[in-house]
Amino acid sequence: MKQLVTFTVSGEEFAIDIMQVQEVIRLPELTPVPNAPDFVEGVIHLRGRIIPVIDLRKRLKIAGKEIGPYDKFTRVIIVVLQGKWTGFIVDAVTEILKVEEGSVKPTPELVMEQTGAEYFEGVVHQNDRLIILLNLPKVLKPFERDQLKELDLESIKKILLEQ
């Protein structure tokens, strides 16, 4: 059995392996960082760590879906990607889903043609639901991960001093 954390982004249902998730938190106040990529909403200070927070709606550029305001259901999924703590803003975390290892199917061709197929590990059919399994390490390209590492250090120091 594989356990997945399922969540919604712009009305679409996604999942990641629960083993990738450090924790899920309510959306805290974000501190904007100068010169950050446009999909980085800011940083948070969480238990001694400065964590960049990425809006997954913006990062995935889901076609035809308007980016609405954050609300009481908005969450940040905290993960560690290649040794770097990172937060991903999602519209809502819905459940922990247990699926058989073999139930993850390849991503359909149509989805691969219209989007960045490298983002997806596959899909899971659960009752009437189609859940896209994200490949989080590939959601950020290597140069984007480097950009996150090079965020304005003076701003981050200021953030630490304000905490």
Q: Where are the domains of the chain?
A: 2-162
pLDDT at 121: 85
| Proportion of the chain above pLDDT 70, given as a percent | 81
pLDDT at 61: 76
This prediction's pTM: 0.85
**Residues 77-112: pLDDT tens digits?**
999 887 888 999 999 999 999 998 888 888 766 555
Residues (pLDDT < 50) of the chain are none
- Residue 14 in tokens: 């996604």
pLDDT at 39: 86
- The superfamily in CATH containing domain 2-162 is CheA-289, Domain 4 (2.40.50.180)
- Residue 25 in tokens: 């938190």
pLDDT at 28: 92
